[in-house]
């Protein structure tokens, strides 16, 4: 009797279809994850270089002129007129006495009207003491950028050249050609008194300083 020949072609059943569907799903998920990772990488680069994702992506295929136009549109407009900070706190007797010592020593305080720590330093001394302080405002003309009717003012005034590392900045002359200072810190009156003594080259008694309320 004739027997049918066995086929070498594999039978495609439901189980095989299921495996193929699973493989396709995994491939799709992998592709989406890769795209998401690329987007995240692009966003990180954008944050690093200060560009939008669109601008960063454009850098790979859009003429530089078009990118420059987009960046020009994105320039911020800043218009902050100078406003003198008005100290509210009353000064202690100690603060007034040390402020007089600072004046006698030729001390200067550099800062900016928009500097929060500068204003905190003024409040710590109080309004009466601040009358004796030689305060140097580094932005006497305000801050302006791309503001209509104003020239750009984005750098400290020339009077503050060399004294812009961090505000508030205290400077006390030391000898004829030198000076010492404290930058970027809010100091109590007694700490400023210590600066005066160091400028004079006097020995500092740390134990007395930290254990008594007596001014030296």
Mind listing the pLDDT tens digit of every residue in the chain (216 residues)? Answer: 333 344 343 444 445 455 555 556 555 555 555 555 545 544 444 443 444 545 444 555 656 676 776 676 448 999 999 999 999 999 999 999 999 999 999 999 999 999 999 999 999 999 999 999 999 999 999 999 999 999 999 999 999 999 999 999 999 999 989 999 999 999 999 999 999 999 999 875 555 555 555 555
* pLDDT score at 57: 47
User: What is the signed CA dihedral for 154, 155, 158, 162, rounded to 10 degrees?
Assistant: 170
Domain range enclosing 22: 14-73
Query: In Å, what is the CA distance from 56 to each residue of 36, 68, 73, 189?
Result: 16, 12, 15, 51
For residue 32, tell me if it sits in a domain.
yes
User: Rounded to two decimals, what is the model's pTM?
Assistant: 0.63
Query: CA 167, CA 156: separation in Å to the nearest integer?
Result: 12
* pLDDT score at 10: 43
Note whether 103 and 175 are same-domain residues. yes
For residue 138, tell me if it sits in a domain.
yes
For residue 80, tell me if it sits in a domain.
no
Note whether 206 and 99 are same-domain residues. yes
Q: Provide the strand spans (E) within the chain.
A: 78-80, 108-111, 134-137, 143-145, 169-174, 178-183
Q: Which CATH number goes with the domain that contains 179?
A: 3.40.30.10
């Amino acid at each position: 009797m004739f027997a049918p020949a066995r086929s070498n072609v594999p039978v495609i059943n439901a189980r095989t279809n299921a495996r193929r569907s699973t493989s396709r799903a995994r491939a799709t998920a992998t592709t989406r994850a890769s795209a998401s990772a690329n987007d995240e990488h692009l966003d990180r680069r954008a944050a690093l270089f200060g560009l939008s994702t669109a601008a960063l992506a454009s850098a790979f295929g859009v003429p530089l002129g078009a990118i420059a136009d987009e960046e020009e549109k994105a320039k911020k407009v800043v218009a902050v007129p100078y406003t003198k900070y008005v100290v509210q706190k009353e000064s202690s007797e100690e603060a007034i006495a040390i402020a007089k010592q600072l004046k006698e020593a030729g001390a200067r305080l550099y800062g900016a009207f928009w500097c929060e720590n500068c204003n905190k330093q003024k409040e710590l001394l109080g309004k009466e003491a601040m009358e004796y302080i030689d305060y140097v405002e580094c932005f006497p003309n305000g801050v302006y950028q791309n503001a209509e009717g104003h020239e750009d003012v984005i750098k400290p005034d020339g009077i503050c050249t060399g004294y812009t590392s961090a505000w508030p900045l205290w400077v006390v002359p030391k000898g004829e050609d030198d000076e010492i200072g404290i930058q970027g810190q809010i100091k109590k009156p007694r700490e400023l008194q210590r600066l005066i003594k160091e400028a004079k080259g006097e020995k500092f008694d740390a134990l007395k300083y930290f254990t008594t309320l007596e001014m030296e």
